[in-house]
Amino acid sequence: MILQRILTRLVTTLITLAGVSVVVFVTIRVVPGNPIAMMLPPGATEADITRLRALYGFDKSILQQYFIWLSGVVQGDFGTSIQSRQPVLRLVLNRLPATLELSIMALVIATALGGLMALTGTRLRGTRTEGAIDVTNGMALSVPDFLWGLVLILLFGVLWPVFHISGRISPQLTSEFSTNFYLFESVLRLRFDLWRDLVSHMFMPALALAIPLAAIIGQLLKQSLKETMHLDYVTLSRTKGYGENHVILREALPNAVLPTLTLIGVQFTFLIGGTVIIERLFSYEGLGNMAIDAVINRDLPLIQGIVILFALLFTAVNLFVDMLYALLNPRLRHA
């Protein structure tokens, strides 16, 4: 049953990626603007324009361009960036670790904050504390992440400067790393001086991304816990003399967490997409920041590569969460 679900999702993933590639390829070519004109100096001749159009394949029809690009993608060639003249795949993979680390940190913060609010609200249900948590969740959801970023910059970057407000790491430390996964590498090498510098740069953008997600997680998990607390096996646990903390953590939470797990997986894909604005706001050197530069410069091959990678990440995360949910849910595992 599980193998069949995996095969079905893989086929669906391939169809989704194919559809995304068509939509993106056509859309960015009908948008006004000439990337070739942006590459040439003011005194360029018509021959120069023609030569560059032929070099990047813009002299062919959209259909021909698409199949040429698709054949390259199948072979691992996403084309060459118009602005930097470097392979798109190399550029994207160089920036991807920074965005993944930022997203994972934001997810960890959001899960911790949301879980804490849900457990506290469930433990103190019916009190003013639960009402205060609900109000806090509403406030967190009503403000978008980029506004939270501006508030954090003002508070902890200007008024009380305890965190860095731009960049990924201090420039003099970049030579210390052999991979682009700076945060993971610093932990594996036990270089906590590098880790502290990275966290000081990443904490505010990660927190800005995490606050709205934490509110969503907190609301859903608290609602699931409140429903689970009325089930028979939880009542039986109380009759055996177990305390409220034991009942919530050991009896109710393992079953209430399954819907939240699915939500976290779906929201993580949106979290990765949300890094675009946050990375720009904090001058964070990730994939989202590069995507904005690519759009501004009309770097079509780079835009295509970034969007396809985002789509691949989204489908991969959703597939992983779907399979994990099937493994953790006994009714689906034994179906």
Summarize pLDDT for 188-238 with one digit per residue, the tens. 999 888 999 999 999 999 999 999 999 999 999 988 888 888 777 777 777
Per-chain mean pLDDT for the chain: 83
pLDDT at residue 278, as a whole number: 93
Q: Across residues 47-58, what is the average pLDDT?
A: 75
pLDDT at residue 43, as a whole number: 67
User: For residues 185 and 94, what is the distance between their CA atoms, to the nearest angstrom?
Assistant: 15
80: β partners? 87
User: For residues 60 and 286, what is the distance between their CA atoms, to the nearest angstrom?
Assistant: 33
Q: Across residues 265-292, what is the average pLDDT?
A: 87
User: For residues 241 and 247, what is the distance between their CA atoms, to the nearest angstrom?
Assistant: 10
Task: Name the most confidently modeled range: 8-22, 60-74, 200-214, 290-304.
Answer: 200-214
- Above 60 in pLDDT, residue 47? yes
pLDDT at residue 112, as a whole number: 94
Q: Across residues 109-138, what is the average pLDDT?
A: 88
Q: Across residues 99-108, what is the average pLDDT?
A: 93
pLDDT at residue 334, as a whole number: 47
pLDDT greater at residue 263 or residue 94: 94
- Which of 4-13, 63-72, 104-113, 296-305 bottoms out in mean pLDDT, i.e. has the lowest? 4-13
Q: Across residues 252-280, what is the average pLDDT?
A: 83
Q: What pTM was estimated for this model as a whole?
A: 0.84
Phi and psi at 80, nearest 5°, equal -120, 135
pLDDT at residue 201, as a whole number: 93
- Above 60 in pLDDT, residue 268? yes
- Above 70 in pLDDT, residue 62? yes
Share of the chain above pLDDT 70, in %: 91
